[in-house]
């Protein structure tokens, strides 16, 4: 008798099947020769770009950016999951989040930024899965799994001391990844996470249901950041997402930072002004998880130029 796949595997199979039409429609990718040039690597942050193989039926080669502190490690790991801009994901440049990455390197973390399947120079196709936001996030989380599996082979990466962060669509990915309760992942940080899909009926309610589903399954503590002047979600939307997640059993501490004076609260994480908001809260959260190394024993990373982009 043929045994059915385990429940978690069935969930991912369902997500992939639901996305098959999206894959077929996007099978022909735009020519990469037209993509913008790559920025120069930041030697002060020991920046490098590697390729990671994602195995399985939806195999892909993922482009991953690494920033490292001075020394040989092993370093605790901070994964940052990027968002999704409007339009074709292949036109979305390599995520670096230079200001947050620098701050995390100065705290002793190896910073890891995966470009998920179908984004920029990662192969494969973005798994949109239509209006099924829950399956969308779970599909994205599989890429994070592949990257952490690869990091486990690197002597400088202490994957037993990992924290996963994400902004916007990357925040959704981070909370979806939390449902896997992967050993060594000690905390999650969600910056304005979600997926705005106004083509779907009652999409805000769908977000709350998705976050409730994630909260029921995750046992990893999480820290959330949302502001009142977010161009993607109004306060009632993110309050409903948080209430649904926590009400279902998820461990979520909310930092509601009000109006972000410099502009759109959705972009707080990557901005210089945002560091005064999130870094003190992050430090307390990470210290409570035992993830803050002795900074006095490490030289600080070189100061960021005033013109550095925060992408």
pLDDT in tens, 62-102: 999 999 999 999 999 999 999 998 878 788 889 999 999 99
137 within some domain: yes
Q: Is the peptide bond before 291 cis (omega within 30 degrees of 0)?
A: no
Judge whether residue 156 has pLDDT over 50: yes
Position 1 in a domain: no
Tell whether 263 is covered by a domain.
yes
The CATH number assigned to the domain holding 267 equals: 3.40.50.1820
Q: What is the distance between the alpha carbons of residues 23 and 17, in angstroms, rounded to a whole number? A: 10
How confident is residue 30, by pLDDT bands cut at 50, 70 and 90?
very low
Tokens of 244: 């649904």
Q: Which two tokens stand for residue 38?
A: 């790559």
Give the model confidence (pLDDT) of 206-252 as tens digits: 999 999 999 999 999 999 999 999 999 999 999 999 999 999 999 99
Residue 30 lies in a domain: no
pLDDT of 311 > 80? The answer is no
Q: What's the residue count for the chain?
A: 311
Q: Is residue 21 situated within a structural domain?
A: no
Torsion region of 181: left, alpha or beta (phi above 0 gives left; psi -120 to 50 gives alpha)? left
In a domain, 209, yes or no: yes
Tokens of 297: 């024993």
Contact 68, 110 (CB under 8 A): yes
| pLDDT of 2 higher than 60 | no
Q: Confidence band (pLDDT; 50, 70, 90) for 130?
A: confident
Residue 105 in 3-state DSSP? helix
Describe the strand order of the beta sheet including 110-114 as a list of residue ranges.
48-54, 60-67, 110-114, 75-81, 157-167, 185-191, 222-226, 252-256
Alpha carbon dihedral 264, 270, 272, 274, in 10-degree steps, equals 60
In terms of residue numbers, what domain contains 167?
43-293
| Domain contains 119 | yes
pLDDT value at residue 300: 44
| Chain position carrying tokens 């490690």 | 73
Note the pLDDT of residue 90.
80
**For residue 39, what pLDDT is reported?**
85
Tokens for 55?
A: 């195995």
- How far, in Å, CA of 108 to CA of 292, rounded? 8
Tally: H helices and E strands in the chain? 8, 8
CB 184 within 8 A of CB 79: no
What integer best gives the mean pLDDT of the chain? Answer: 86
Among 225, 160, 157, 154, CA closest to 186: 160
Cα-Cα-Cα-Cα dihedral of 109, 134, 91, 166, to 10°? -20
Q: Which residue has the higher pLDDT, 5 or 232?
A: 232
212 vs 37: which has the higher pLDDT = 212
303 C-beta neighbours (distance < 10 Å), count: 10
Domains of the chain: total: 1
Query: Whole-prediction pTM value?
Result: 0.84
Angstrom CA distances, 26 to 3, 88, 204, stand at 33, 9, 26
Dihedral in degrees, nearest 10, Cα atoms 94, 24, 214, 3: -130
Q: Is residue 299 part of a domain?
A: no
* Helix (H/G/I), strand (E/B), else coil: 55: coil
DSSP string, 120-142: TT--S-----TT-HHHHHHHHHH
């Amino acid at each position: 008798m043929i045994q059915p796949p385990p429940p978690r595997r069935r969930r991912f199979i369902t997500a992939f099947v639901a996305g098959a039409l999206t894959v077929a429609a996007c099978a022909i990718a735009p020519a990469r020769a037209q993509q913008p040039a790559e920025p120069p690597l930041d030697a002060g942050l020991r920046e490098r770009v590697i390729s990671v193989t994602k195995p399985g039926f939806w195999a892909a080669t993922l482009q991953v950016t690494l920033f490292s502190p001075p020394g040989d490690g092993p370093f605790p790991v901070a994964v940052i999951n990027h968002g999704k801009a409007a339009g074709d994901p292949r036109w979305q440049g390599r995520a670096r989040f230079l200001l947050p990455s620098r701050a995390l390197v100065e705290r002793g973390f190896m910073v890891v930024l995966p470009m998920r399947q179908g984004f920029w120079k990662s192969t494969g196709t973005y798994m949109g899965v239509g209006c099924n936001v829950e399956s969308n996030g779970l599909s994205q989380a599989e890429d994070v799994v592949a990257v952490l599996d690869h990091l486990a082979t690197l002597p400088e990466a202490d994957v037993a001391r990992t924290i996963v962060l994400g902004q916007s669509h990357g925040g959704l990915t981070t909370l979806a990844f939390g449902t896997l309760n992967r050993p060594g992942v000690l905390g999650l940080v969600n910056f304005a996470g979600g997926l705005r899909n106004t083509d779907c009926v009652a999409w805000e309610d769908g977000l709350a249901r998705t976050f409730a589903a994630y909260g029921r399954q995750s046992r990893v503590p999480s820290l959330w950041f949302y502001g009142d002047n977010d161009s993607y979600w109004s306060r009632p939307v993110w309050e409903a997402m948080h209430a649904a997640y926590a009400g279902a059993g998820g461990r979520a501490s909310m930092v509601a930072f009000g109006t972000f004076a410099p502009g759109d609260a959705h972009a707080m994480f990557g901005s210089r002004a945002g560091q005064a908001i999130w870094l003190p809260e992050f430090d307390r959260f990470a210290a409570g998880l035992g993830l803050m190394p002795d900074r006095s024993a490490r030289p600080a990373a070189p100061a960021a130029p005033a013109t550095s982009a925060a992408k």
